[in-house]
Amino acid sequence: MNEIEKLEELISYIQSNITAFKNGICEAHPFDIAKSLQEIREIDTSEYKSICKKIPSELFAEILVNMPTYIQEEITDIISEQKVARVTSNMDSDDASILIYNIAQKDEEAAQTVLSKLNIEEKQNIEELNAYDYEETGSFMQKELFSVNINEDIDTALKRLKKEKDLHILSNIFHAFLIDDNNNFLGSIGLEELILFERNLKFKDIPVEKIENFSVKHKEKISNTVNMFSNYNLNAIAVINDEDKLIGRITHDDVRAIMQEQDTKQLYSLAGVNNEAEEVESIYEIGRNRAFWLSINLVTAILASLVIGIFDTTIQSLVALAVLMPIVASMGGNAGTQTLTVTVRQMALGAIEYDDAKKTIYKEVIISLVNGFLFAFIIGIISYLWFKIPLLGFVIALSMVINLISAGFFGAVIPLVLEKLKIDPAIGSTVILTTVTDIVGFFSFLGLATIILL
């Protein structure tokens, strides 16, 4: 299929879904439509703009949520600000706040224009959510929720829920959040539990053991909230302010997106790549970001080479050293990366904190010590059989032990120290660790060779 045929097929697919949506029978998932729309954008920008203008605002709201950040940023260049406002009005408050935030990153004036076209409540909700720091739970919460007064009866509450569902005010409802007359959060009850009670029963008469008390403060770090979902297998959790007033909720789909973003960021950071930069289309921006970390790596590689240069006479005297020294550095680097990856990941999951440093370092050093002796014995034998120099096998074995212990120690220490200094452990750990293991590996191997063999 050539590009023109593919474009025609994609356009036909989206147009058929637009028609089906208008008739109330759309079967395609918004994610699939979003994916097709992105493909059209890559093939023909003018067709992309044309079809975006034809998509109903209600459907476009669901599609745009599934679009990458850079596409959300440019949306006011594609459709009118009036339509963007209508699309925003059809989003949940958390998705709407993210859209406005993304638009503002490229065009603050356009974002403010869209905001001005929303009703007062929608505008206030978005401004409230965007006022939080990105790392705070409040920035990810959803204002739409199903709350019930403790003195209300179940029948009245469920009828109200049905009405709000029919009007598309609420979606993904898992709990009824219990509040008093002053909006103080009292707990929650799952809908699967609620339907088992008599309809004329008041919420205050529901047995205490059926009430859950999970909640999170709006200023809590979002990473801690994510851990709560994982630890307690939650579908949703109430968000309360400093006075324990119910102000929103976090749902499992929000957490799933956050976890995916955190995992991507961590993976990219360990490789010295910026996850936000990789999302943009500009080859220049991506290349510039990667070049920054490559330049740092070049500096560290030069440092390692300077160490080798100190022992150039030793290497010239025994060529076997040049053959074997990459083995020591490589083993140290791999061992350190193992420790570093495990430590950073467990820190991200909340399993390790700075206070656990001693225990973590001790464990990693012991593991490295055991592996160090194991592989030192193996490489010592191989070196002896290879070059027929007994002391050479001893030198590389001893150097292997030193470097692997160093790798285990620094692989655990570096991310813990960076976290203490309020620096993301995933960002700079790899470059620092590689430098350490290379320098220690080369210095110990060539230094011992100078002392013992020459």
Q: Is residue 268 part of a domain?
A: no
What pLDDT shows up at residue 12? Answer: 92
Give yes or no: residues 167 and 84 share one domain: no
Q: Is residue 217 part of a domain?
A: yes
Q: What SS3 state is found at 246?
A: strand
Give yes or no: residues 127 and 157 share one domain: no
Condensed to tens digits (0 to 9), the pLDDT of residues 295-326 reads 777 787 788 788 888 888 888 778 888 888 88
- Is residue 45 over pLDDT 50? yes
- Whether the CA torsion 396, 401, 402, 403 is positive or negative: it is positive
What pLDDT shows up at residue 261? Answer: 67
What pLDDT shows up at residue 166? Answer: 86
CATH value at residue 411 = 1.10.357.20
Task: List the structure tokens of 236.
Answer: 């949703």
Give yes or no: residues 85 and 152 share one domain: no
> CB under 8 Å to 125, separation ≥6 — which residues?
93, 96, 97, 143
Q: Is residue 265 part of a domain?
A: no
What's the number of domains the chain is made of?
Answer: 3
CATH value at residue 16 = 1.25.60.10
Which residues share a beta bridge with 188? Answer: 177, 212
- Is residue 287 over pLDDT 70? no
What pLDDT shows up at residue 308? Answer: 83
Give yes or no: residues 289 and 326 share one domain: yes
How confident is residue 278, by pLDDT bands cut at 50, 70 and 90? very low
Give yes or no: residues 122 and 227 share one domain: no
Q: What SS3 state is found at 123?
A: helix
What pLDDT shows up at residue 56? Answer: 94
Least confident of 52-56, 225-229, 231-235, 275-279: 275-279
Number of residues that make up the chain: 454
Give yes or no: residues 336 and 437 share one domain: yes
How confident is residue 285, by pLDDT bands cut at 50, 70 and 90? low
- Domain range holding 116? 3-131
- Is residue 16 over pLDDT 70? yes
Q: What is the DSSP letter of 185?
A: E
Give yes or no: residues 410 and 288 share one domain: yes
What pLDDT shows up at residue 156? Answer: 93
Cα distances (Å, whole numbers) of residue 144 to 93, 171, 174, 191: 7, 8, 12, 16
- Whether the CA torsion 403, 406, 412, 415 is positive or negative: it is negative
- Whether the CA torsion 141, 145, 151, 154 is positive or negative: it is negative
Report the alpha-carbon angle 301-307-311, nearest 5.
140
Tokens 């709350």 correspond to 147
Condensed to tens digits (0 to 9), the pLDDT of residues 62-101 reads 999 999 888 999 999 999 999 999 999 999 999 999 999 9
Which residues share a beta bridge with 185? Answer: 179
Neighbour-count burial for 291-327, b at 16+ CB within 10 Å, e otherwise: eebeeeeeebeeebeebbeebeebbeebebbeebbeb
Give yes or no: residues 245 and 365 share one domain: no
Q: Is residue 140 part of a domain?
A: no
Q: Is residue 270 part of a domain?
A: no
Least confident of 114-123, 151-160, 169-178: 169-178
- Is residue 255 over pLDDT 90? no
Give yes or no: residues 153 and 53 share one domain: no
Give yes or no: residues 322 and 447 share one domain: yes
Give yes or no: residues 309 and 447 share one domain: yes
Amino acid identity of residue 304, one-letter, is: A
Give yes or no: residues 60 and 91 share one domain: yes
Q: Is residue 176 part of a domain?
A: yes
What pLDDT shows up at residue 343? Answer: 80
**In this predicted model, which residue has the larger pLDDT, 215 or 230?**
215
Condensed to tens digits (0 to 9), the pLDDT of residues 352-369 reads 666 666 777 888 888 888
Q: What SS3 state is found at 311?
A: coil
